[in-house]
Homo-oligomer: A and B are copies of this chain.
Amino acid sequence: MPDSALPSPLPPCVILCGPQMGQNIGACARAMKNCGLDDLRLVDPRDGWPNPAANAMAAHAQGIVEAAQVFDTLEAAIADLSYTYATTARARDQVKPVFTARGFAADARTRAVEGQKIGLLFGREREGLWNSEISLSSAMITVPLNPGNTSLNIGQAVLLVGYEWWTAQDQTADQRLETNEALPASQLMLDNFLGRLIEDLDERGFLAVPEKRDRMIRNIRNIFQRGGLTENEVNTLHGIVSFLKGQGGPR
């Protein structure tokens, strides 16, 4: 167990994208409580919110369901976070680091100890996460399972990933004293930069072919999204874009 004199790193939030059955949301809350997680966020839940089926299933994890926050968009749900992991059953065609669940836990604990706010994205019951949602994440997690059957329901996926977070406590106790002076950029700060960049690129005609536009934007996002950028780095990127556009000046 970690030395109790040291501050505990903040556990990851769990973000459910377009969850459908209320009972699955309740099952996620239970799994979260098993693993010491408590910040549940719902993006556009199909059956509205609150949902009595979620409360009924949550059992001892009622408190997590009751404190859940609801958002219209994934962008809003992760705006205050600095590093997010998208869970996927199979590799996706996006340029991002891919962690096992155990690799995630080691990586996320190091980040959390540095003060980064971490998020875990989980997708819909059948479809998983959309590519546009994955592109908003910093990295991916694929839980290693029997290739003959990798399908998990959301509650099970939350349980396995949360379990690795919980059990990684011991291994990372020594990392708790490490410090990192640089402040991680929030997702909102990165989004502001990317929004501005896309505007600039639109203005310059870089994204002028309509059928390629979405994919190009996703690819651009992935370039910056996976870096775990600091605030200073995002400011530097703004400066670079401004200067490239010929709008730079004394800073």
Contacts and interface: CB of A to CB of B under 8 A. Distances in A.
A152 B155 CA distance: 11
A61 B31 contact: no
Interface string A133-167: 00000000001111011111001100110010011
Contacts of A144: 166-167
A34 B152 contact: yes
B146 A166 contact: yes
A33 interface: yes
Contacts of A60: 149, 151
Query: What band does the interface of chain A fall in when counting residues whose beta carbon is under 8 Å from B?
Result: 20 to 34
Interface string A16-39: 000000000000001101111000
A34 B145 contact: yes
Given A159-B160, A160-B160, A102 B167 contact: yes
A144 B148 CA distance: 28
A146 B102 contact: no
Interface of A: 30-31, 33-36, 59-61, 100, 102, 143-146, 148-152, 155-156, 159-160, 163, 166-167
Nearest to A167: B144
A35 B156 contact: no
Given A102-B167, A159-B160, A160-B160, 11 more contacts: A31-B156, A34-B149, A34-B151, A35-B145, A35-B146, A60-B151, A61-B149, A100-B167, A144-B166, A155-B156, A163-B163
A150 B102 contact: no
Contact of A163 (B35, B160, B166): B160
Contacts of A34: 145-146, 149-152, 156
A166 B102 CA distance: 13
Nearest to A102: B167
Closest 6 CB pairs of A and B: A33-B149, A36-B146, A34-B145, A60-B149, A34-B149, A144-B167
A36 B144 CA distance: 11
A141 to B, nearest CB: 13
A205 to B, nearest CB: 48
B149 A163 contact: no
Contacts of A156: 31, 34, 155-156, 159
Contacts of A59: 151
